[in-house]
Amino acid sequence: MLAVVEQTRLRVSKNTEAKRKSQLGQFLTPARTAQFMAGLFTAKDNIDCRLLDAGAGIGSLSSAFLERCIDGDLRFKNVEITAFELDSLIHKDLNDSLTSYKKRLPIEYEILGGDFIEQAVNRIQFGSGQGFTHAILNPPYKKISSDSHHRLLLRQADIETVNLYSAFVALALAMMSPGGQIVAIIPRSFCNGPYYRPFRDFVLERAAIRHMHLFDSRSKAFKDDDVLQENIILLLERSGQQADVTVTTSTDDSFADLVTHTHPFNRIVFPDDTERFIHVPTSQERNAIELSSAIRYSLENVGVKVSTGPVVDFRLKEHLREKSEAGTVPLLYPAHFTGQNIEWPKPNIKKPNAIQRNVETEKWLYPNGFYCVVRRFSSKEEKRRIVACVVQPDTFADAEMLGLENHLNVYHENKHGLPEALARGLAIYLNTTGVDENFRRSSGHTQVNATDLKMMKYPSREALIKLGEWAMRSGEPTQRMIDEQLENLSA
């Protein structure tokens, strides 16, 4: 029967315009992914199952769950399914999928249209929503604006979040009975960054993470819909006692190369991390960052700050200049960086090379000096997420000030340059393979925010200066040489 549901999914997906999919945040779950997700539930024999499927689509996830019941993997007295689906155009397909199981299982189901968030908040407020024993979710992916109706509704349920997918998971969690299990496939973006901090708190305070699955390919989980978001599958247990976490990885939704590891929870959420970033270790081995006792300092300990580049070009458009001229200062974009080197001025990059220095721009400029800078964005194809470079004052002749554009993160001392050795030491440290690997464990997107860099651990100021002095003696060190320096760091 699941094969029939899969054929329906392919038909519906093909016939639904991309614009409508985007408006609804609707990407239907492929059969193999649905089967894997349903396979994560642990058996609880002879209970009444109340299954929540929010954003049910055509019923692929509920169908995969019911297949496990037919096979005898999951045994329940009765199964009641509550399926929420906003898109009324696919209600008939959803109904057909669920009806096909009624002859083989003692199931009851209801299909509810309308707004899931509104209905769920009402259920929570009036005490009629709690009691689901299982939930299986592929929620919509769409941002929630800060002043929207959804945001106000969610706050009534003590939920603060910025995307529909995290709202659906939080609401499902709020409606689960103790011991209830949730399996959800969601973007990995919630794992780090300040915007999802309240959501991480909400989940970690109410549930135990039992299992995480990561797809190595960004494009294969929903390849029929050309989705390039990095996705993760979670198994959560409401009110569960947190223990070790099973982490699996596969290249794509064939799961042909599935690898399984078990990790203590302190490798998933570091005990001293106030932001509660969620890491996804993909091997048993701890990398150099975790192993080194020398890497335990905050940026505050180091005496350095990191900020997003202050020049927002579209707000200062009238002051930008293609070439350096009288009354201007250098303006640096990521395009000026090739590897770890700076080329300025740089012709033919479709970006200005200079910005006027005047009353309106002065407050956005930094004094010329040594800075360590990190690109905020990398392409999906790049091997590295963190790429650091050193801004060198002699590149800009006698320029007194610099413009650092918003697509750069800048390490500085109170908006002034760093000692040369410290700037170079930071760049060497950030360009190590260990730092890049560690960052990828907590970040599923290609953006590197100043907050991400602020939350990282660093060697001491003295150790960074020594790294910088080594770099100044070493010319152009290779990646192997850089990584060896990380291994040699001592407390």
Claim to verify: residue 212 and residue 328 sit in the same structural domain? no
Q: How far apart are CA 138 and CA 168, in angstroms?
A: 9
Q: How far apart are CA 447 and CA 429, in angstroms?
A: 19
Residue 294 domain-assigned (yes or no): no
131: left (phi over 0), alpha (psi -120 to 50) or beta: left
Q: Which two tokens stand for residue 435?
A: 């730092």
Answer whether 437's CB lies under 8 Å from 287's CB: yes
Residue 292 domain-assigned (yes or no): no
For the entire predicted model, the pTM comes to 0.72
Residue 97 domain-assigned (yes or no): yes
What pLDDT, on the 0 to 100 scale, is given for residue 28?
74
Claim to verify: residue 365 and residue 340 sit in the same structural domain? yes
Claim to verify: residue 18 and residue 89 sit in the same structural domain? yes
| CATH assignment of the domain containing 308 | 3.90.220.20
Q: What domain range includes position 385? A: 299-488
Residues paired with 31 in a beta bridge? none
Q: How far apart are CA 297 and CA 377, in angstroms?
A: 25
What pLDDT, on the 0 to 100 scale, is given for residue 482?
87
Q: Which two tokens stand for residue 214?
A: 């990561």
Phi/psi at 212 (5° precision): -135, 135
Answer whether 152's CB lies under 8 Å from 146's CB: no
What pLDDT, on the 0 to 100 scale, is given for residue 31?
86
Claim to verify: residue 343 and residue 375 sit in the same structural domain? yes
Residue 289 domain-assigned (yes or no): no
Claim to verify: residue 356 and residue 470 sit in the same structural domain? yes
What pLDDT, on the 0 to 100 scale, is given for residue 227?
45
3-class DSSP string for the chain:
CHHHHHHHHHHHHHHCCHHHHHHHCCCCCCHHHHHHHHCCCCCCCCEEEEEEEECCCCCHHHHHHHHHHHHCCCCEEEEEEEEECCCHHHHHHHHHHHHCCCCCCCEEEEEECCCHHHHHHHHHHCCCCCCEEEEEECCCCCECCCCCHHHHHHHHCCCCCCEHHHHHHHHHHHCEEEEEEEEEEEEHHHHCCCCCHHHHHHHHHHEEEEEEEEECCCCCCCHHHCCCCCEEEEEEEECCCCCCEEEEEECCCCCCCCEEEEECHHHCCCCCCCCCCCCCCCCCCCCHHHHCCCCCECHHHHCCEEEECCECHHHCHHHEECCCCCCEEEEECHHHEECCEECCCCCCCCCCCEEECCCCCHHHCEECCEEEEEECECCCCCCCCCCEEEECHHHHCCCCEEEEECCEEEEEECCECECHHHHHHHHHHHCCHHHHHHHHHHCCCCECCHHHHHHCCECCHHHHHHHHHHHHHHCCCCHHHHHHHHHHCCC
Answer whether 54's CB lies under 8 Å from 135's CB: yes
| CATH assignment of the domain containing 14 | 3.40.50.150
Going by C-alpha positions, the residue among 192, 186, 173, 155 that lies closest to residue 274 is: 192
- Looking at 242, 259, 284, which one is the last position of a domain? 284
Going by C-alpha positions, the residue among 243, 232, 212 that lies closest to residue 40 is: 212
Claim to verify: residue 262 and residue 346 sit in the same structural domain? no
Claim to verify: residue 54 and residue 185 sit in the same structural domain? yes
Residue 263 domain-assigned (yes or no): yes
Claim to verify: residue 325 and residue 275 sit in the same structural domain? no
Using only the alpha carbons of the chain, give its radius of gyration: 26
What pLDDT, on the 0 to 100 scale, is given for residue 30?
84
Answer whether 153's CB lies under 8 Å from 117's CB: yes
Going by C-alpha positions, the residue among 278, 273, 276, 305 that lies closest to residue 457 is: 273
User: Cα separations (Å) of 458 from 309, 375, 394, 435?
Assistant: 21, 18, 28, 10
Residue 291 domain-assigned (yes or no): no
What pLDDT, on the 0 to 100 scale, is given for residue 436?
86
- Looking at 255, 284, 313, which one is the last position of a domain? 284
What pLDDT, on the 0 to 100 scale, is given for residue 443?
60
Residue 48 domain-assigned (yes or no): yes
- In the chain, how many domains are there? 2
Give the largest CA-CA distance in the chain: 83
What pLDDT, on the 0 to 100 scale, is given for residue 455?
80
Claim to verify: residue 41 and residue 10 sit in the same structural domain? yes
User: Any residues with CB less than 8 A from the CB of 458 and at least 6 apart, and which?
Assistant: 295, 297, 298, 299, 301, 302, 426, 429, 464
Claim to verify: residue 384 and residue 258 sit in the same structural domain? no
Asked whether the bond before 345 is cis by omega within 30 degrees of 0, the reply is: yes
Q: How far apart are CA 221 and CA 214, in angstroms?
A: 10
User: For tokens 């579209």, what's the residue?
Assistant: 314
- Looking at 254, 284, 314, which one is the last position of a domain? 284
User: Any residues with CB less than 8 A from the CB of 266 and at least 6 apart, and which?
Assistant: none
Q: Are strands 176-187 and 231-238 parallel, antiparallel or unpaired?
A: antiparallel
pLDDT along the chain (491 residues), means of 10: 60 57 62 93 86 92 93 89 90 90 89 93 82 94 91 94 96 95 93 89 96 74 51 95 94 88 90 85 64 80 94 92 91 85 85 93 95 80 78 90 94 96 95 83 69 87 94 87 79 43
Q: How far is CA 397 from the centre of its chain?
A: 41
Intra-chain end-to-end CA distance of the chain, in Å: 60
Claim to verify: residue 134 and residue 48 sit in the same structural domain? yes
Residue 219 domain-assigned (yes or no): yes
Claim to verify: residue 271 and residue 336 sit in the same structural domain? no
What pLDDT, on the 0 to 100 scale, is given for residue 17?
54
Packed helices 31-38 and 2-15: angle between N→C axes, nearest 10 degrees: 130
Answer whether 52's CB lies under 8 Å from 82's CB: yes
